[in-house]
Structure 1
Amino acid sequence: MPGSVDSTAEAGGSTAEELVAERRGRLHPAIARTREAVRSALSDLPAGTTALVACSGGTDSLALAAATAFEAPKLGLRAGAVVVDHGLQPDSARTAEIAAEQCRGVGLDPVQVRAVEVGREGGPEGAARTARYDALRAAADEFAADVVLLAHTRDDQAETVLLGLGRGSGARSLAGMAAVAGLLRRPFLEVPRATTAAACIAAGLRPWHDPHNDDPTYTRVRVRHEVLPVLEEALGPGVVEALARTAGLLRADADALDMLAADLAETAVRRTDGEVLCDVGMVADEPAALRTRVLRQAALEAGSRATDLNAGHVAAVDALITDWRGQRWIDLPQGIRAIRRGGFIIFGPDVTG
């Protein structure tokens, strides 16, 4: 079913009094909150920097586009937008152009629509995400942008934490999405989705509703519409906020552990042509939280992909150190193997016993 422009998006808690206040000339509180979030996210950038908003035309990204268009010039920044057309919906090109028109309408410039071809690797969601992020990085290169803004909200963060719990993931996955990750920034991670909906209504924007957001074949949709409401009913209001807060606390812990593991890897891991070697003696007595991080990083450097390398793979490699019985190699994603030989765990595509 094609997506539709949602002209009756829920105000997400906007009261009649708030709407009357807006008509009387006072700034709507939802708009104020989205602008404050963007201002905070961009405040460290030097004047003259270009920031691009990744805009799908949905509620969250349109609210982000409007807030960025208002705040960026006040900070001396240039602000534009990139609309990625995944080609997965009927009339997707028209939908993308409507989103681009609204971005231009709020004052963003440049605004570009980039059509992508979504592959199959990583499943539908993973393949679309890969194509989208590749397009955003290409646009950033083209426009010499130092920052790309993504519109993930506090609700998205909570859903990400629950998905990580369901997969049995470690602290890094449960830490959710980072507010800053290299080129990418997420100003709305502490902003509820209801606030972005209210901001769009108050600003007169007309978001597009992606039918995929209601399709229960997607795990995230089931978490959003089935799991979170049950948790709210059983545990009371505030579950989304608590999950997002938990992600922030875990991120601080995970960042500290990653730094310690990186220091350990500097001495324990070395690279040769086609292979990565981890010194068993240097990591054997380290805490499991550090040792497994070093082993995971070694596997990634050897060629396994982060999206495919899971905790079970790393645990099996760790057993070559903690439960060594002369076992054979461990098969890892992308044809990489890990084997213990001569006091080292050796990672590579051709290692055998």
Structure 2
Amino acid sequence: MPPLPRAVAQTRLAVRRALSDLDPGRMVIAACSGGPDSMALAAATAFVAPRLGLRAGFATIDHGLQEGSAARAAEFAEWSRHQGFDPVEIITVEVDPSDGGPENAARSVRYAALDDAAERHDAAAVLLGHTRDDQAETVLLALARGGGPRGISGMPERRGHYRRPLLDLPREVLTKACAEQDLPTWDDPHNADPAYRRSALRALMPALTEVLGPGLSANLARTARLVADDNRVLNGLAARLTARAAGSDASLDVAALAGQPRALRTRVLHTWARLLGVPGSGLNHGHVSELDRLITDWHGQGPVQLPGSREVRRVGTRLVGGPVL
């Protein structure tokens, strides 16, 4: 028997490590677009899951944004059935480009569809095919936006039922794994369309790597891991501070926050604003800075207007939030 190709072995090992904590009999769903990354993930899942006593399902999302998308989804679904996946789902979604732009809108409906699939099948995990290169691009995009630690920490290996087994593997390994297994793949033309910011950045990565060194993607991914470690500690401290400072009447104790480091205050303000009903995606640095001024630079200013038709005003020694009056 010929030796197992290295790229295939690396992919299977990554998936095994990601699933090793699950109890036998649980369901895992491989989310697959048909691209090399997610196809390599699906093939590894089909091999690893039954050997761990797990059931493996397959889900592909048809965004309906390109001609022939339904036929492609059907082809990949048929491939997955031959690999032993059960259930196999083609989930058709509608994307409204006016909802934060086409990239954000497609992402939102895709995750909503996968959440629904996980609930329907009581899945312990939904596997996503993001790679080390995807992580590096995410960090660079966050830096370009002036993002804070949350953005720079990139994509987590796990969040809720989502798991990213391939986050430590470069894209080229997944491409090799597909070639070595003769897997059917599809290259989404959107990935090469400079109208999309991530696609434009992806096209620039070879030039950036030439200037900054061959370890660029790996170094950016390592930065994400280091920042994520720091975030976990600070977020834990902020959660305890929020529990002390937040009242049951949608208020926040200024005195409990005034002497705290800004890194903790702003985390508390982020959490508290979401408790008030402010959508997290709409809350930006400017909003949080104005809330922080109600604590550290109070001179009688009026309320801070927040997304979701919410506002926060200072009343004595407390911040009070609610609907815009």
TM-score scaled to structure 1, two decimals? Answer: 0.90
Q: Which residue of the other structure, out of 209, 213, 225, is the alignment partner of 1:232?
A: 209
2:18 aligned partner:
41
2:261 aligned partner:
287
| Counterpart-to-counterpart distance in 2, 1:97 and 1:187 | 25
| Counterpart-to-counterpart distance in 2, 1:242 and 1:106 | 36
163-172 vs 24-33, which moves further: 24-33
| Matching of residue 344 in structure 1 with residue 318 in structure 2 | yes
Letter in 1 for 2:267: R
1:149 aligned partner:
127
Letter in 2 for 1:200: C
| Counterpart-to-counterpart distance in 1, 2:2 and 2:51 | 21
SS in 2 for 1:270: coil
| Paired-residue identity, % | 50
Note the C-alpha offset of 1:230.
Answer: 2.9
| Matching of residue 168 in structure 1 with residue 146 in structure 2 | yes
Gaps of 5+ in 1: 1-23
Q: Which residue of the other structure, out of 263, 276, 285, is the alignment partner of 1:302?
A: 276
| Counterpart-to-counterpart distance in 1, 2:140 and 2:156 | 16
Note the C-alpha offset of 1:350.
Answer: 2.5
| Counterpart-to-counterpart distance in 1, 2:30 and 2:248 | 38
Q: Which has the higher contact order (CA 8 A, sep 6+)?
A: 1
| Counterpart-to-counterpart distance in 2, 1:98 and 1:145 | 24
**Kept in 2: contact 1:57–1:98 (CA 8 A):** no
Letter in 2 for 1:205: L
Letter in 1 for 2:193: D
Note the C-alpha offset of 1:210.
Answer: 0.7
| Matching of residue 223 in structure 1 with residue 181 in structure 2 | no
Letter in 2 for 1:278: L
SS in 1 for 2:247: strand
| Matching of residue 277 in structure 1 with residue 255 in structure 2 | no
1:183 aligned partner:
161
| Matching of residue 202 in structure 1 with residue 180 in structure 2 | yes
SS in 1 for 2:282: coil
Note the C-alpha offset of 1:214.
Answer: 0.7
Note the C-alpha offset of 1:182.
Answer: 0.8
What is the Cα-based RMSD across aligned positions, in Å?
1.1
Runs of 4+ in 1 over 3 A off after TM superposition: none
2:32 aligned partner:
55
| Counterpart-to-counterpart distance in 2, 1:164 and 1:348 | 30
| Matching of residue 97 in structure 1 with residue 71 in structure 2 | no
SS in 2 for 1:347: strand
SS in 2 for 1:190: coil
Note the C-alpha offset of 1:328.
Answer: 1.0
TM-score scaled to structure 2, two decimals? Answer: 0.97
Note the C-alpha offset of 1:342.
Answer: 2.1
2:290 aligned partner:
316
1:19 aligned partner:
none
SS in 2 for 1:263: helix
1:77 aligned partner:
54
| Counterpart-to-counterpart distance in 2, 1:56 and 1:206 | 11
Letter in 1 for 2:273: A
Note the C-alpha offset of 1:267.
Answer: 1.2
| Counterpart-to-counterpart distance in 2, 1:230 and 1:208 | 25
SS in 2 for 1:328: coil
Note the C-alpha offset of 1:102.
Answer: 2.1
**Kept in 2: contact 1:337–1:350 (CA 8 A):** yes
| Matching of residue 331 in structure 1 with residue 311 in structure 2 | no
SS in 2 for 1:316: helix
| Counterpart-to-counterpart distance in 2, 1:320 and 1:285 | 13
* Residues 1:99 and 1:270: Cα distance change in structure 2 (over 3 Å): farther
1:123 aligned partner:
101
**Kept in 1: contact 2:252–2:320 (CA 8 A):** yes
2:41 aligned partner:
64
| Counterpart-to-counterpart distance in 2, 1:147 and 1:34 | 17
| Counterpart-to-counterpart distance in 2, 1:59 and 1:85 | 17
Note the C-alpha offset of 1:31.
Answer: 0.4
**Kept in 2: contact 1:65–1:108 (CA 8 A):** no
SS in 2 for 1:57: coil
Note the C-alpha offset of 1:143.
Answer: 1.2
SS in 1 for 2:57: strand
* Residues 1:300 and 1:73: Cα distance change in structure 2 (over 3 Å): same
Once the two structures are superposed, residues 296-339 of structure 1 have per-residue CA deviations (whole angstroms, 9 ceiling, x without a partner) of 11111112222121112111110111111111111111222121
